[in-house]
Amino acid sequence: MYSGLLIILIPLVLGYALPPLRQGVMRAVNRLLSAMVYIILFFMGISLAFLDNLTANLLLIAWYAGVSAVCILTVNGIALWWLEKRCPWPAPTHQDALPSRLRMAMDSFKLCLVVVAGFLIGLTQWHWLSVASRASEFALILLLLLVGIQLRNGGMTLRQIILNRRGTIIALVVAASALMGGAVTALILGLPIATGLAMASAFGWYSLSGILMTDAFGPVVGSAAFFNDLVRELLAIMLIPGLMRRSRSVALGLCGATSMDFTLPVLQRSGGLEVVPAAIVHGFLLSLLAPILIALFSA
């Protein structure tokens, strides 16, 4: 159950353990890190096309996924907005220059196009495309290794990364409010409360929710949970740059468990390197809670 967590931690630690690199090498690392985002999204789109029972249950899956995404993210957003008001997170002392709103919208659109392209290619059902899921795992490992290297070369200490009060508080608020949103989802869809709570418990970890929820509740609920978490990840990519200027707590909390890996480069670019420790602690705690809560509510 925790093999996915080890896949996340090991390359991060290895990357951080490497000695500091020259400036020219680090520029290449940063470029490769940006490219890995598109590669993983492309593999994600291919994997969607191979999802079991996708065609037969598409409308029901879309309804379940849409309702759960709206309910969970709405309650998350309200709770995180309240947290930001009660305990403001000061703006970063240094923030990379962000492009214009039009440029950010176009970047988000390009990310969505990459997913769509992967999905359309996956619909061909070419046999060799079935390795996309495995290939995305290796791509994710490389991305995490590069993130670890970036952390080491950013001059951060392990104490800064591991002990972070802000990341812990946001993770707990996200977990509690997501479960409230899951309960509301169950009431609207007429599902058992435990099913709604389980759908909300992956916190954006779509590969985990898709597998565990399908085993526990069948392909419709499993696929809906997968898309619910996928929507969270895609929304985070699109909204982080704008949210980071208004509410850093909301920007980080929207990422869910993915703040430790996939959305980490976007967070770092928008909020500066000092947001990374909170993002890692936040993602680590939610990644730790996700399989425990899913197993609990699906028992």
Does the pLDDT of residue 125 top 60, yes or no?
Answer: yes
Does the pLDDT of residue 1 top 50, yes or no?
Answer: no
What are the tokens at 62?
């879309």
Whole-Å CA distances, 105 to 100, 114, 231, 247, 269:
9, 14, 16, 19, 16
What pLDDT does residue 53 have? 64
What pLDDT does residue 3 have? 56
**In whole angstroms, what is the distance from residue 264 CA to residue 284 CA?**
12
| The CATH number of domain 3-297, selected from 1.20.1630, 3.30.420, 1.20.1530, 3.30.70 | 1.20.1530
User: In the chain, what are the helix, strand and coil shares in percent, each to the nearest 5?
Assistant: 80, 0, 20
Q: Reduce the DSSP state of residue 208 to 3 states and report it.
A: helix
- Predicted TM-score (pTM) of the model is 0.70
**In whole angstroms, what is the distance from residue 40 CA to residue 269 CA?**
18
What pLDDT does residue 61 have? 84
Q: Which of 112-126, 155-169, 193-207, 259-273 has the highest mean pLDDT?
A: 193-207
Per the prediction, the chain carries an average pLDDT of 81
Q: Contacts by 157-162 with C-beta closer than 8 Å and gap 24+?
A: 158/16, 160/277, 161/16, 161/276, 161/277, 161/280, 161/281, 162/281
Which residue type occupies 121?
Answer: I
